[in-house]
Amino acid sequence: MSEIFNPMLWPALVKVLVIFVLVVSTSRFKINLGICLAGGGLILGLWMRQGPLQVATEAVEAVFSPVSLRLALAVVFMLVLSSLMKEGGQLERIVASFSRLVRSPKAAAAVMPAIIGLLPMPGGALFSAPMVEASCQAGPDGSARGELLAAVNYWFRHHGEYWWPMYPGFILAVSLLGVDTLAFMLVMLPLAIVHVAGGVWFLLRRLPDLKAVEDRGVGSLAEFFKECAPILVMIGVVVVVSALGALWGKGGPPWPEGTPLIVGLAGALISAAVANRVGPLKVLATFGRREVLAMLGLIAGIMVFQGLMKASGAVGEIEHEMNAYGIPALAMICLLPFVSGLVTGIAVGYVAASLPVVVPLISGMSGMEYLAHGGLAFVCGFFGMMLSPLHLCFLLSRDYFKCTLTSCYPYLYGPLAVNVVGLVAWYLILS
């Protein structure tokens, strides 16, 4: 009974849920979300019985960690790049050229984030958001609701998390499960198709009837690729630098992790500046804009929260609590990744936190049964990540389209329900 009245004795899962509610609630009062997240992380660290000095040290370390700095640099480059492409009219030209090929602005609204989703850039939803916005500016009332556009951008961007081998979460899952990369890709690919189908049915169909591009000329792939030059440069540079790193030999390449993406974004930024005839001074001025600085604050808040989640031991305690409560193995296989995804908001986070616990539970299985249970855990974590209020792409989409997290959630329930049904059917067939 004393545990109920003493908050310090509450289970870690309850503490984290309370912090989640606190963060989401305070952000609705127009308090900067980065401040809300950082404050929630600090409170959680203290609530997990860490000293004030230790919590402060861990927060500073989280903000200035190599991962945090790489993320900040990548997101800033993406903001500047998208700004140059938007103000130079290049985003509209990309959408227009693609729409002339497919004759469907709705298709463009889905395909553009899906294309960007093949490149595992942190916060890539920020890059595709202006393209979705440009695709949906032809409606009779000017545009669709911000919440719907945010959901379209967010949902279609994440098909690659299931099966695309360039994603760190997928690579880590293959490694921890000890399965063949191609085999896991083929097992996951049908669920990626279900993911897209759910988005088409519940999201694209809700977009207003958009007018086709007025230009009735025949679309050209060459024109489309020309306008997509910055994106193609980015993908090409990432592939080439990554390949060079893989061929470097023992000890790996001399450059730090994340270099391919940063170099690719820099190349894309130069390509966009040249294509849109933007001078160096204007490019530099774009780095100091208010929205860029605000985004850096948001990233700092996310990293403080995630860093203290890990450093305080909250994720580990949640796993131990679920184990101690005698939850069945199948439930553990589903719930541990789901909760980890909800808590961390990132694929690498839920894979690293939950699969080391899940793998021993399925170690007695083999063949397709093992793949089915490993995939079940992986996708359950994905569901938690997609619903997490800490998912960077979710936050960036919500921020770009100027809507609240709570107003976005209802648009995700339908596509997610399709995914759940697809996952259950897929699991039963495979196992």
Model confidence pLDDT, tens digit, residues 394-422? 988 888 888 888 889 999 999 999 999 99
* Amino acid 140: pLDDT: 42
The tokens describing 67, both together, are 């991962």
As a residue count, the chain comes to 431
pTM passes above 0.85: no
Longest dimension (CA), the chain: 75
* Amino acid 117: pLDDT: 78
* Amino acid 93: pLDDT: 81
Tokens 């880590």 correspond to what residue?
172
DSSP 167-201: SHHHHHHHHHHT--HHHHHHHHHHHHHHHHHHHHH
pLDDT in tens, 27-76: 667 777 788 889 999 999 999 989 999 999 999 999 998 888 887 888 78
pLDDT at 94 over 90: no
pLDDT in tens, 317-360: 877 887 787 778 788 899 888 988 888 788 877 887 788 778 87
Burial class (CB in 10 A: 0-12, 13-18, 19+), 155: buried
163 or 121, higher pLDDT: 163
20 or 393, higher pLDDT: 393
pLDDT at 212 over 60: no
pLDDT at 1 over 70: no
Closest to 150 in 3D by CA, of 331, 348, 402, 380:
402
* Distance between CA atoms of residues 376 and 254, nearest Å: 37
Euclidean distance between the first and final Cα of the chain, in Å? 43
* Amino acid 266: pLDDT: 92
* Amino acid 138: pLDDT: 41
User: Would you say 262 and 268 are in contact if contact means Cβ atoms under 8 Å apart?
Assistant: no
* Amino acid 216: pLDDT: 45
* Amino acid 315: pLDDT: 73
For a pLDDT cut of 90, what percent of the chain falls above it?
24
pLDDT in tens, 356-383: 778 878 888 888 999 999 999 999 999 9
Closest to 260 in 3D by CA, of 240, 275, 283, 290:
240
pLDDT at 208 over 60: yes
* Amino acid 167: pLDDT: 78
Q: Positive or negative, the Cα torsion across 210, 216, 219, 224?
A: negative
User: Would you say 117 and 124 are in contact if contact means Cβ atoms under 8 Å apart?
Assistant: yes
Residue range 266-273: average pLDDT?
A: 92
Tokens 């660290």 correspond to what residue?
45
User: Would you say 400 and 150 are in contact if contact means Cβ atoms under 8 Å apart?
Assistant: yes
pLDDT at 301 over 60: yes
* Amino acid 139: pLDDT: 42
Q: Positive or negative, the Cα torsion across 204, 207, 209, 213?
A: negative
pLDDT at 297 over 80: yes
pLDDT at 306 over 60: yes
For a pLDDT cut of 70, what percent of the chain falls above it?
91
Q: Between helices 405-430 and 181-202, what is the axis angle to 10°? A: 130
* Amino acid 211: pLDDT: 58
* Amino acid 219: pLDDT: 60
Count helices and strands in the chain by DSSP H and E runs: 23, 0
pLDDT in tens, 104-157: 778 878 888 888 777 666 667 877 888 788 777 644 444 568 889 999 999 999
Residue range 192-207: average pLDDT?
A: 93
